[in-house]
Structures are given as structure tokens and as C-alpha cells.
Structure 1
Amino acid sequence: MKKNFALIGAAGYIAPRHMKAIKETQNELVVAYDLYDGIGIMDSNFPQADFFTEMERFEDFLDKYKRDGHSLDYVSICSPNYLHKSHIRFGLRQGADVICEKPLVLNPLDIDELKEIEKATGKKVYNILQLRLHQSIIDLKEKVQKELEQNPDKQYDIDLTYLTSRGKWYFESWKGKEEKSGGIASNIGVHFYDMLCWIFGDVEENIVHVKTADTNAGYFKLKNATVRWFLSVNYDYIPEDIKASAMRTYRSITVDGDEIEFSGGFTDLHTKSYEHILNGGGFGLDEAYGSIRTVSTIRNLPAVGLQGEYHPFCKKVLT
């Protein structure tokens, strides 16, 4: 049966993937909200959907929609990170289940609060943790599980490198302000941390080597792995061979020196995420807790510099 959706943050970068997922799962976007009104992308997906730039009018529409006997099944949230908690709370209190972009919230205590609202409303919160649905990552998890069955004490050596270039606009937007985005680790790293913990176990030790406006880097000790990680939005740190191919993004994960190939297969992961939720699956508040705790810890740790097991790219920043 077709489900009815509302969307908060319709003008955001990630919102078109949610619109596409709603459409491809044969459901209906009834209404959308954003402060910014330049969202012609809606014409390619749901041209008949109502749209508001004022939260009060958006809420009035939903109240009348329900009074007229319609059901609102889901609220999808693509708003800036620091607004996620309040928008999730709004969706739950509308009597809808909520699908929210990563990072779900900025702090673990926010999850505890949302659990209480879930209990009070009887509705559920689902986080987009799309890497858990990427086939290469699923294959890696299955391989690791088999190896750990044979050797439960095995320790893997992992390097995570993710560079996604951003222009000067980034630092003028909410994304470049730590109090709104959570910082680099929250904004571009949280789903990688979730994926690594999903496969290799919870974080047992967390060290930060680099913490600047455009770069975070550090070291994790997981239950079954050590991880050197480097995240940046600075184009200068991209390897020269990648620059030569006119690419502005570099993504690499090596496990015991072997590269994990997952450069493709990203375009349909939001649709897969929606299918997973609509079919009775989905990743709820408990699944989000580990990665949110990790990024919150990173945000509050001091950077120690070039000490210990640091990622080799750290020298690009600190020397």
C-alpha cells in the first residue's frame, strides 16, 4: 500500500536522493519544507507536492491533512545536522515514523532523549546508514565474520582515507561551523565509522592526531582492528595521480594492506535504504549510538600531533 511522506530540508544536497527513493519505492511525497525556495528538482519527482518555506505553514498543512482523514506515514529529514533532533521530535509527534540522514544527531544524549519520545509516540526513528547496504561492504563483513569464527582474537590493520574537496562556500555554510555540523568527522566521516564498527567491533581507544577546520585524522582501537583514519575537504591533500585524472574525491579503505573496492554502487543506496525500512528492516536509534558516540568523542578530544600510530597523510598537514 502506498505510503505518504513529508520531507524537511527539501533544498539540501542530499534531498534529491530521498525524493528519488520515495518515488522508486512507489510512494508519495505529499508536502516538503525548506527555508530556501529554489528547488526545481521537485518538478522531476513530485510536482504536485505542496511546499512551504515557513515551518508554521508546513505544520498547519499537516494538521489539516490529518484532520481531513489522511495518514502521514513518514517524515524524511535532510535538514542541517544541528536541527535533526528537533525535526525528528517534530516528525514523531506528528504520529509518523522518521527517516533521517546521517549524522542522526550530534551527541549520544540526544539519542536517549529520542528513545523516550519513541516510547511516548509509539513511532520509530530510522537512520540512513547506507554503507551497511553496499554489496562490497556486506561481502567484507561476511569474510571477516568467517575469519573471526576461526580466530576470535584476530586483529586487522586498517587505513581509512576519505578526501572530498569543497570550495570556500563550505566554510561560510552551516557545514563549516562545528556547532552546527559537528565538524569534519561528523559531517563526512560518521557513516565510515559506523561501517567499521559494524564489521570490526566497538571503539575501545580513540586518539585524534589532526584537528583543523578542513581536516580531522586519528586512530581507533576497535575490538578486532586498529584503524588509522584521515578525513579532509581540502583539495591540496588529494594524491597527485588522482588530481591528474581531474577527480576531486579520493576514497580508500585498506584491510591488512588489501584495498577494499567500493568506488561504485553508491547511486542507489538511498533507495535500498528506503526498501529496507519499508520491508520491516531499517537501522534504528540503537544502531546509530556507536558512531554518534565516536564523533562526539573526537569533537572533544585534543589533537596530539605526529605521535603514535598516525595516518601517513597527517604529514601533509603538519609538516
Structure 2
Amino acid sequence: MKKNFALVGAAGYVAPRHLKAIKDVGGNLVAALDKNDSVGVLDSYFPETSFFIEYERFDRHIEKQKRENNIQLDYVSICTPNYLHDAHIRMALRTGAHAICEKPLVLNPWNLDALLDIEKETGKKVYTILQLRLHQSIIELKEKIATGPKDKVYDVDLTYLTSRGNWYYASWKGSVEKSGGIASNIGVHFYDMLSWVFGDLKENTVHLHSHDRASGYLEFTQARVKWFLSIDYDALPNEVKEKGQHTYRSITVDGEEIEFSGGFTELHTKSYQDILAGNGFGLEDARQSIEIVQTIRNAKISKQEEGKFHEFVNLPVSKHPFNRS
């Protein structure tokens, strides 16, 4: 049976992936909401859907569809800024729908506890998009670790550089209160993947945390991880700049590169297919990664111990205008 969806955050960066996924699973988009009206992308997927820039009219439309046309929402897809996820998940559950929310699911682990209570009260589920768990290279890595020596601890280096322009600092992403900071914005799915593959967290140390970069050390049951994240173009390796590229992603396990530069295009669709099949990733699946980023956001900077810091941690300070007095 065709499922009914609503989408909140239709003008956002990630919304087209959700629109495509809803289309791919044969869903019906009943309504879409965004305070910004640059949503021409809807024409490519659901040109007939009802679009609203005011929450009150969006909510009224959903209620009318339920009462007058017997159209009940099955799912609400949430693509809004990070700090609004918790509120929009609650709204979805109150309407009698399941929630499908982009990562980070929430900004703080205690938000998960309240949502678990609301799940019980409403009988509806909260799902999150953890697409790296569906990437074939990561699945193969997890299988390799799971079938390897149980007492082996692997040395992992994670480097993710994805440059952003001046717009970033004027948007909600540049506000720690709204985005959770750089670790939440661009790192949370990597922390989830590391948790999924290497087990429970034992240590979380932060060596650097600023508006455009962060670095630290994580220790899991089966991994010692040195990590570095940045949105500063100046941090990119020269060979990447020379190719005209703006992103560099690398994960090594005991010195061996894990190749996962491709294979991302259908992962949101796979996520939706899993959810509709009765699977999908829920609140508890997201907990450890949410705890990691919340700790990073509030941690004091620690001394760099030998063998426990990323080689990029002492790169020159950003020349970005945001960092100038």
C-alpha cells in the first residue's frame, strides 16, 4: 500500500535526497513545509504536493486531510536545522506518524530519553538516517572486524575536510547553539560508523575545537582512533587543491585505506526501503554518536599525548575572515 509522507525542511540541502527516496519507495507526499520558498526541486518529484511556508497552515492542512479525506500520514521526514529536530520529531509523533529524521537526530543524549517516552505513549517510531551503515565498504569492514580476533585493537585514522564558504558562518550551521558545532555538522555519521564497527566507547579526548576545525582521540573496544575534521579550504592537501577539489575524505585501518568515495547515491533510498520493511535505525542506534558529539562540544582541550593525536592537529590557524579581528 502506498504510504503517505509529509516533509519538513523542503528547501534544505539534504531535502532532495529525501524527496528522491520517497519517490523511489512509491510514497505519496501529502504536504511540504519550509519558511523559505526556494523549493523548485519539488517539481522534479512531487509537483502536486501542497507546500506551506507557515507551520500553522501546514498543520491545519494535515488535520483537514485526516478528517475530511481520511488521509492519515504514515511518516514525517525531517530535514530541518539540527536544533529543531527534537521539536519536529515530537510534532510527527503527535500527528500519529512515524518520524524519519536526518542526523544528528538530536543535539543531546537526554533528548533521546524523552523521545523514547513519547514513542511509548504514541506507539510510533523515530527513525534516523545512518547511511554509512548501509555502505558496502563499511559493511565489509564491519564483517572483517567481527570475524577477526576479538581481542585485537585496530589503529584508525579519520580525516574529513570539506571546505565551506562565507555563507556557512551566516547560516544556522555557523551557530554552535543551533548546529552543535563542526563535530555534529560533518562528523556525527563518522562517529556512528566507528561505533557500529568497533564497539563501545572507552575514551574521548579533544585536542582542538574551533569554528572551522576539530580534532581528537577516540578509543573503542576494538579501535584507537585519531580524527581530524575541518571546513577550512586552507587545510586541504595541496594535491587536492591542484585538482580543483574541495573535499578530502580518508579512513585508514592499520594503515590500509578504506575506499568509500563512491556508492553514496542510493543510500537514502536504501534507508527508506529498510524503514518501510520494518527495520531501520532508531533512537538507541543513534545514542553513542550523540554522546560523542555532545562530549566533544563541551570538552576542555587536552594535552596531546604521544601516539594519540592526529598529524593535522597543528596545521596553521585558519586565514578565514571569520577568524580575523
- The TM-score normalised by the length of structure 2 is 0.96
**How far apart are residue 307 of structure 1 and its match?**
4.0
Structure 1 equivalent of residue 321 of structure 2: none
The C-alpha deviation readout for 1:254-313, integer Å capped at 9, x for no partner, is 000000000000111101100111111100001011100110010110122544411001
Q: Which residue of 2 aligns with 1:135?
A: 136
Distance 1:287 1:74, change over 3 A: same
| 2:253 partner amino acid | V
Partner of 1:64: 64
Equivalent position of 1:35 in the other structure: 35
The 2-side partners of 1:153 and 1:318 are apart by: 39
Aligned to 2:100: 99
Q: Per-residue CA shift, 1:70-122, capped at 9, x if unaligned?
A: 12100000000000000000000000001000000000000000001000000
Deviations 1:160-209 (A, max 9, x none): 00011100100110001000000000111000000001000121100001
Query: Corresponding residue for 1:73?
Result: 74
Name the aligned partner's letter for residue 237 of structure 1.
A
Deviation at 1:318, TM superposition (A): 6.0
In structure 2, C-alpha distance between the alignment counterparts of 1:56 and 1:124, rounded to whole Å: 24
Equivalent-residue separation in structure 1 for 2:214 and 2:316 (angstroms):
10
Work out whether 1:185 is the aligned partner of 2:163: no
> Which residue among 153, 158, 170 is the counterpart of 1:160?
158
The residue that corresponds to 1:195 in the other structure is 193
Contact 1:108 1:292 in 2 (8 A): yes
Give me the whole-angstrom Cα distance separating, in 2, the residues matched to 1:8 and 1:76: 6
Looking at structure 2, the residues matched to 52 and 130 of structure 1 have their Cα atoms a distance apart, in angstroms, of 29
Q: Counterpart in 2 of 1:109? A: 110
SS at match of 2:314: helix
Tell me the distance in 1 between the aligned counterparts of 2:54 and 2:316.
Answer: 43
Deviation at 1:26, TM superposition (A): 1.1
Opposite residue 221 of structure 2, the aligned amino acid is K
Question: Which of 249, 252, 255 does residue 254 from structure 1 map onto?
Answer: 252
1:21 paired with 2:21, answer: yes
Could you say which residue in structure 1 is the equivalent of 2:299? 301
CA distance in 2, matches of 1:317, 1:191: 27
CA–CA distance in structure 1, aligned partners of residues 244 and 276 of structure 2: 39
Equivalent residue, structure 2, for 1:83: 84
Structural RMSD (CA): 1.1
AA matched with 2:61: F
- Where in structure 2 are the equivalents of 1:223-242 lying within 5 Å? 223-242=221-240
Q: Name the aligned partner's letter for residue 10 of structure 1.
A: A
The number of equivalent residue pairs is 316
| Cα distance in 1, alignment partners of residues 269 and 124 from structure 2 | 21
Equivalent position of 2:243 in the other structure: 245
Q: Identity percentage over the alignment?
A: 61
Structure 1 unaligned residues grouped into runs of 5+? none
Quote the Cα distance in structure 1 between the aligned partners of 2:193 and 2:272. Answer: 18
Alpha-carbon distance in structure 2 between the residues aligned to 1:39 and 1:305: 47
User: Quick one: distance in 2 between partners of 1:266 and 1:163?
Assistant: 17
Please give the per-residue CA displacement for 1:113-136, whole angstroms capped at 9, x wherever unaligned.
Answer: 000100000000000000000000
Deviates more, 1:11-20 or 1:295-304: 295-304
1:281 to 276, 279, 283: 279
Q: Is the 8 A contact 1:6 1:74 kept in 2?
A: yes
2:311 equivalent to 1:312? yes
Return the alpha-carbon distance in structure 2 between the equivalents of residues 292 and 191 of structure 1: 10
- Deviation per CA, 1:1-52: give whole Å up to 9, x if none: 1101000000000000000000011111110000000110000110000000
> SS of the residue aligned with 1:302?
coil
CA–CA distance in 1 between the matches of 2:121 and 2:232?
Answer: 44
